[in-house]
Each structure stands twice: as C-alpha cells, then as structure tokens.
Amino acid sequence: MIAEAATDESHAYGTRIFQYGDPGDKLYIILEGKVRISREVGGMGEEALAVLGVGEVFGEMALLDESPRSASAIAHERCRLLVITKDAFDDLLFLHKDLAYEVLWACVRMLASRLRETNDKLTFLSTSGRF
C-alpha cells in the first residue's frame, strides 16, 4: 500500500534533498545509498547529526507535527529514495487504520531511539566539557 502511494527519486552525491526551515511536505525511505542529516552551526559550519542508510526513514517529524524542517538532508552518496507526500501519507493513515497503527508505533519507536541517542550525546558533551 505504501509503495503504491509513493514515488521514486534519485539524487547525486552532495544534492540537498531539503533544507532546514523548508516546509515539511514529504517523508523519505532510503532504498539505496546514504543521506546525511545536518544543521549549520554559526562560526563552525555543517554539523552532521546522523548518516542514514538503506531502510531508514527521514523527514517524518515535519509530517507528524506540521512544522518546518528541523535540519537539512543531503545525499551523502548517490541515493535512491521512496518519497511519500504528506497528503498521500494522511490518506493512507485515514483509510487504513491497521496500517496507521503500525506506522505510528514504528514512528514512536524510531523517535524514542533518536531521543535516547541525543541524550547520550548531550551527556557525553556535558561530562567532557565540550558543552
């Protein structure tokens, strides 16, 4: 069902898929390659938050909370992505309640995992004096 509602995109190395502050109108699943999630830090340049690989999802936060992008996504190497628009995502969840349940729980688990990683990084930075 998800594949039927999605399109396929390919991006060359270094291509900016979306930028911090852009409207969050799509969710992405990596089929091939890697994508770097990053933010620009004043006076320091780009800070990579994560490098995601095959099977991983990004762009979901903006779809869930309807806020602008919280980071940029850049092709870390040539990549092929499955892309689901917000409208298609909303339609899928509305029309298929069992799918909605599974997708939303997967999102909760993924976001909880990312929050734990962030907590670990903050703890390391604060105890190492880098924060």
Q: What is the pTM for the complete model shown?
A: 0.81
User: Would the pLDDT of 18 be above 90?
Assistant: yes
Homologous superfamily assigned to 2-127: Jelly Rolls (2.60.120.10)
pLDDT digits (tens, 9 = 90+) for 35-87: 999 998 888 888 888 899 999 999 988 778 888 999 999 999 999 999 999 99
pLDDT digits (tens, 9 = 90+) for 102-113: 888 888 888 888
Q: What is the DSSP string of 62-95?
A: HHHH-PPPSSEEEESSSEEEEEEEHHHHHHHHHH
Q: Domain segments of the chain: what residues?
A: 2-127
User: Would the pLDDT of 95 be above 70?
Assistant: yes
* Residues paired with 46 in a beta bridge: 40
